[in-house]
Structure 1
Amino acid sequence: MTAASNLLLPVMPDTHGHFGQYGGMFVPETLMSALSELTDHYEKAKADPAFQKELDRLLHEYVGRPTPLYFAERWTEKLGGAKVYLKREDLLHTGAHKINNALGQILLAQRLGKKRIIAETGAGQHGVATATVCARFGFECVIYMGKVDMERQALNVARMRFLGAKVVAVTAGQATLKEAVNEAMRDWVTNVRTTHYILGSALGSHPFPMMVRDFHRVIGVEARRQILEREERLPDLLVACVGGGSNSIGLFHPFLNDKDVRMTGVEAGGDGIIPERHAARFQGGRLGVLQGTKTWLLANADGQIELTHSVSAGLDYAAIGPEHAWLHEQGRVTYNYATDQEALAAFQELSQVEGIIPALESSHAIAEVRKVAPTMRKDQIILANLSGRGDKDVAQAARMIFGEELKF
């Protein structure tokens, strides 16, 4: 077993929600009281054994944790390099990692006495997770989703409605995730006394980036224990897709002080690094403020947010979580990108070689593994986060790969 090498990274964020120069609280004054109240309740809940016990119980009995760490033996053989392990978040109830955070936040809403829940969603997985926990706890649920995303994620829209959620189509602007967040924020400002906003990624104003990260750390905590049990050492490389960055920060965070563990976050390269045809924030992006946080984002010289594009609705967003921006600045995590075509090829390969259909978001991480595994030695280890399953993407992938229109 390799000893962990402590990098002595500072504890982040600070008391004002900053990760270095990133993060903070850039919101209307009407939300400051609610955010302060949420921060206070979260800090108390985090230190409350009863809260943690209930969260752990539900994660195990209702959600299905711990998820397996799967050695992709046939795929490893095909790639011809490093051993590849997959953290199977796709096996969770609702089909993705998003329910870790949704469950933690609904327990907080219960402590706050707020029984109306709102959320935004892109790929629909966070919306489904939020609708699921609202059904479980008997809370009112309203989900904001861009009209474009509703069309390409029709299956998840139906799932949310079956679960009792009201799904509101957002038609403004590009009608994708950024606009859905805008509408959710407007709702929250109007109804802040009765409503809790379950933000779905490690984005937005403090305390959300910290809180969402903490609820997803279970991914990395489990993966660390499992790989040590299996291989008696830590992996050489961690890989995860990065939209806002919840699944990736959840995997990376427990390993940040292990200097021998490299980490790669994979953004959406879309049609290539062409203005308005990708969502890779570290490829031509700049520092700015969007939807409550200061971070790295895609904007023009005048500061106007640029259009984005990705085959995966969950990665189609102009900003990245502030902790990722800080980790990029520190050089602790490398951020690459995969194009739509690379993600689709990875989607098809993992399906056919391992019998696992990945979400198109996760397929960006799989695409990175396809590139790097053959360049590594056979005694090295890659651990990739399979953040969600691809049921929701089958119709879209069939149209793009086979030219077939599926009707459900």
Structure 2
Amino acid sequence: MDFSRYLKEYPDAEGRFGKFGGAYLPEKLVPAFKQITDDYLTICHSSQFIQELRRIRKEFQGRPTPVYHCERLSRMIGHCQIYLKREDLNHTGAHKLNHCMGEGLLAKFMGKKRIIAETGAGQHGVALATAAAYFGLECTIYMGEVDIAKQAPNVARMKVLGANVVPVTFGLKTLKEAVDAAFEDYLENYKDTIYCIGSAVGPHPFPMMVRDFQMVVGYEAREQFQDMMGFLPDVVTACVGGGSNSIGMFEAFLNDPVEIVGIEPLGRGKTMGDHAASMSYGSEGVMHGFNSIMLKDEKGEPAPVYSIASGLDYPSVGPEHAFLRDCGRVKYDVASDEEAVDAFFKLSRYEGIIPALESSHAVAYAMRRAKEMGTGSILVNLSGRGDKDLDYVIEKYGYGEKYKDFK
């Protein structure tokens, strides 16, 4: 497949990436989503919008974020070199602000007074609360009770920023249920509210919008790595839950002779309910208004999922990821909880960088792959910092005493 015209051809006018994507909506929301699509397609080609977004990225977010060579970690493993795209240094500590500021600008353009969202690990919630404060908008964040307990620092940050954090108390009380609750809110309040979906999922145009706003990560990384090294990396990788950080990272490399690998959470193992590896163990299905690959129970409903990383425990994946896998351009692999925690402590001890547990899955894969490759280079999107995870990790794993030596 020729990827030179990929961005012009995908998604199509109906929001589809091949057979994936689309917009499966309640009838009353169809006009609302059409208006979002029309307004986005208007402003995304507006020089005023683009210039304002660039100013925000530079002056408020602190972009571009750097590419960093993990020299000590690489030396410990062998001769293959690991590099990080440091999205943990983006304002609020993760990649999420890249699309939240864009969605905030869109909300202002549309005359909306309120923005709502779901959040799992809390990074999207913090980023959207930040955008709301910046643009002077009301903000409501839905978050599962399980994730609220695991991510207390981010809950506090959202509240300090002025957001109303609503605990979700039904079902498994995690990310999928938070999305359900946010959609219910949007159904009732769509006239003055915009639902700012937190990943490259949901009905069209959100997978396209989030991808477009996140592509800055990959294009920065590609240029920075080439300036640093004079060539491109052998492997580009990122963690995949819904898939916002990874689709933003991958897009710039699609037409290059570079291997691209997305890493899903294997959790505690392959049994249903013990992982959230949709691409590895799921099948085609529709949920939350889009068609993609999803994990299903015996009734064909979204299956229960689990990951140590609250931002990855979602039973489906962005439709563009499903398409890129089916056309053979991007591969998908897994990392377990144990591997992610090992990578969390290794990166902390060897490089002085405490990663988010979500990002730790991609670091774990890079460490494993570096041993297999022997030589070459791997570029990881370090999608977020681990401040939010410290209390949980210390409670469950201590201070990493068992991870002092490489296994």
Normalising to structure 2: TM-score of the pair?
A: 0.96
Q: Note if 1:312 corresponds to 2:280.
A: no
* C-alpha distance after superposition, 1:91-124 (max 9, x if no partner): 0110000000000000000000001110100000
Unaligned runs of 5+ in 2: 401-407
The 8 Å contact of residues 86 and 386 in structure 1, kept in 2 or not, is answered as: yes
* C-alpha distance after superposition, 1:189-233 (max 9, x if no partner): 100100011111000000000000000000001001101101111
Match of 1:29, as an amino acid?
Answer: E
* C-alpha distance after superposition, 1:353-388 (max 9, x if no partner): 00000000000001101100122243x211000000
* C-alpha distance after superposition, 1:60-102 (max 9, x if no partner): 1001100000011111111103211100000011000000000
Aligned residue for 2:212, secondary structure, equals helix
| Structure 1 residue 401: Cα displacement | 1.3
Partner residue, 1:355: 352
- 1:101 pairs with one of 99, 102, 115: 99
Partner residue, 1:69: 67
Match of 2:122, as an amino acid?
Answer: G
Match of 1:381, as an amino acid?
Answer: S
Partner residue, 2:137: 139
| Structure 1 residue 400: Cα displacement | 1.8
The 8 Å contact of residues 21 and 319 in structure 2, kept in 1 or not, is answered as: yes
The 8 Å contact of residues 9 and 257 in structure 1, kept in 2 or not, is answered as: no
The 8 Å contact of residues 263 and 334 in structure 1, kept in 2 or not, is answered as: yes
Match of 2:259, as an amino acid?
Answer: R
Aligned residue for 2:320, secondary structure, equals helix
For residues 288-367 of structure 1, what are the structure 2 equivalents within 5 Å? Answer: 288-367=285-364
Aligned residue for 2:311, secondary structure, equals helix
Aligned residue for 2:280, secondary structure, equals coil
Normalising to structure 1: TM-score of the pair?
A: 0.96
Quote the Cα distance in structure 2 between the aligned partners of 1:284 and 1:137: 41
RMSD of aligned C-alpha atoms? 1.3
| Structure 1 residue 9: Cα displacement | 6.3
Partner residue, 2:384: 388
Quote the Cα distance in structure 1 between the aligned partners of 2:5 and 2:395: 46
* C-alpha distance after superposition, 1:28-69 (max 9, x if no partner): 111111111111111111110110000000011001100000
For residues 9-408 of structure 1, what are the structure 2 equivalents within 5 Å? Answer: 10=6, 11-258=9-256, 260-378=257-375, 380-402=376-398
Quote the Cα distance in structure 2 between the aligned partners of 1:319 and 1:24: 15
| Structure 1 residue 300: Cα displacement | 2.3
Displaced runs of 4 or more, over 6 A: none
Quote the Cα distance in structure 2 between the aligned partners of 1:232 and 1:262: 18
Quote the Cα distance in structure 2 between the aligned partners of 1:294 and 1:32: 16
The 8 Å contact of residues 143 and 167 in structure 1, kept in 2 or not, is answered as: yes
| Sequence identity (%) | 51
Aligned residue for 1:283, secondary structure, equals helix
The 8 Å contact of residues 66 and 86 in structure 2, kept in 1 or not, is answered as: yes
Unaligned runs of 5+ in 1: none
The 8 Å contact of residues 120 and 147 in structure 2, kept in 1 or not, is answered as: yes
Quote the Cα distance in structure 2 between the aligned partners of 1:44 and 1:232: 37
Quote the Cα distance in structure 2 between the aligned partners of 1:319 and 1:191: 26
The 8 Å contact of residues 15 and 23 in structure 2, kept in 1 or not, is answered as: yes
Quote the Cα distance in structure 2 between the aligned partners of 1:314 and 1:52: 29
Aligned residue for 2:278, secondary structure, equals coil
Quote the Cα distance in structure 2 between the aligned partners of 1:349 and 1:305: 34
The 8 Å contact of residues 268 and 279 in structure 1, kept in 2 or not, is answered as: yes
Match of 2:130, as an amino acid?
Answer: T
Quote the Cα distance in structure 2 between the aligned partners of 1:81 and 1:340: 26
Quote the Cα distance in structure 2 between the aligned partners of 1:256 and 1:67: 21
Aligned residue for 1:320, secondary structure, equals coil
| Structure 1 residue 6: Cα displacement | 5.5
Quote the Cα distance in structure 1 between the aligned partners of 2:279 and 2:193: 34
Match of 1:337, as an amino acid?
Answer: V
The 8 Å contact of residues 273 and 283 in structure 1, kept in 2 or not, is answered as: no
| Structure 1 residue 284: Cα displacement | 2.0
Quote the Cα distance in structure 1 between the aligned partners of 2:198 and 2:297: 26
Quote the Cα distance in structure 1 between the aligned partners of 2:291 and 2:81: 38
The 8 Å contact of residues 268 and 364 in structure 1, kept in 2 or not, is answered as: yes
Match of 1:131, as an amino acid?
Answer: A
| Structure 1 residue 393: Cα displacement | 0.1
Match of 1:84, as an amino acid?
Answer: I
* C-alpha distance after superposition, 1:234-264 (max 9, x if no partner): 1110010000000000000011111x20011
